[in-house]
Amino acid sequence: MTADPVTIVAVHGNGGGSARFARLPEHLPDGIDFHAIDLPGFNGVPDDPSLRSVDSYADHLAGLLDDIVGVGVGGEPDDGRGSSRPVLLGHGIGGSIALDLASRRPEAVGGLVLHAPVGADLDRRLFPRLMSTAPVRAAVRRLIAARPLRPLWRRAFFPIGAPAAHLDTFFDGYRTCEAFGRMFEIIDVEWFEGLAPVDAVPTVLLWGENDRVLRSGQADAITAKAPGARTVIQPGWDHFPMLEQPEEYARVVADLATGLATVDR
């Protein structure tokens, strides 16, 4: 009997949208049905003024999952549907939104791979505190997108390297990212502390050992919200291995998602 394909839905981090996952499909093995989505306000998708909380973005994500894998995912699961519920691969804020969805609507998700999700130490980390005002957020977004500064950003955030065309697409996404600043408003300490622990969805916390954007030590704090999660710290990875090491990233993610999708099947 041929095994059912495992559906992975990738939810991007802040700024560049789904462009960060563009190198993955060619490296994924057979049996993986992969979808990289864009949330409103990212990567050319029109902004939605009604989305003003993590909950609202998570509910919007649930609707996208319905479109991908069929009726029933966002509501009560049908008998025997277990393998069709998607595994969410959330990177950065995408992990935060996926975690929120699984916390409130566990029936929508077959598993979680949370890659460096945002939520830990938000009251102590310098960058979230620096981004506390709208003018600063707008200025930072423009600086990240600025072409003259890209050699600096490439050295800082892509030390291993990736094709210039992919990196240009990634950075260009910041220029038109209408939701960039809002993420710093809604993903805050109050949201994280109020999040109910996820105990009904099999979960993996995935981190690059060399991540300089969101340090791997934050995994311990995230575990409080996913107490049954397995933690995987991957040697040699920085924050964007999906662009720098797509073949290895695809293999690791496919293995993790396949393992999660078979839990209690």
Q: pTM for this one?
A: 0.92
CATH hierarchy code of domain 6-261: 3.40.50.1820
Q: Residue 69 has what pLDDT?
A: 83
What local confidence, expressed as pLDDT, does residue 1 receive? 41
**pLDDT for residue 73:** 40
Contacts of 186-193 spanning 24+ positions with Cβ under 8 A = 186/52, 186/53, 186/54, 186/57, 187/54, 187/93, 187/96, 187/118, 187/119, 187/122, 188/122, 188/128, 189/122, 189/123, 191/53, 191/54, 191/100, 191/119, 192/119, 192/120, 192/122, 192/225
Query: Residue 211 has what pLDDT?
Result: 93
Whether the Cβ atoms of residue 96 and residue 187 lie closer than 8 Å to each other: yes
Q: What is the pLDDT along the chain (265 residues), one digit of tens a residue?
A: 446 889 999 999 999 899 999 999 999 999 999 999 999 999 999 999 899 999 999 999 999 999 998 744 444 444 343 447 899 999 999 999 999 999 999 999 999 999 999 988 777 777 777 787 888 899 999 999 999 999 999 999 999 999 999 999 999 999 999 999 999 999 999 999 999 999 999 999 999 999 988 887 888 889 999 999 999 999 999 999 999 999 999 999 999 999 998 875 4
- pLDDT score for 264: 53
Q: Please give the pLDDT value at position 117.
A: 96
How many Å separate Cα 9 from the centre of its chain?
9
Q: Which amino acid is at 129?
A: R
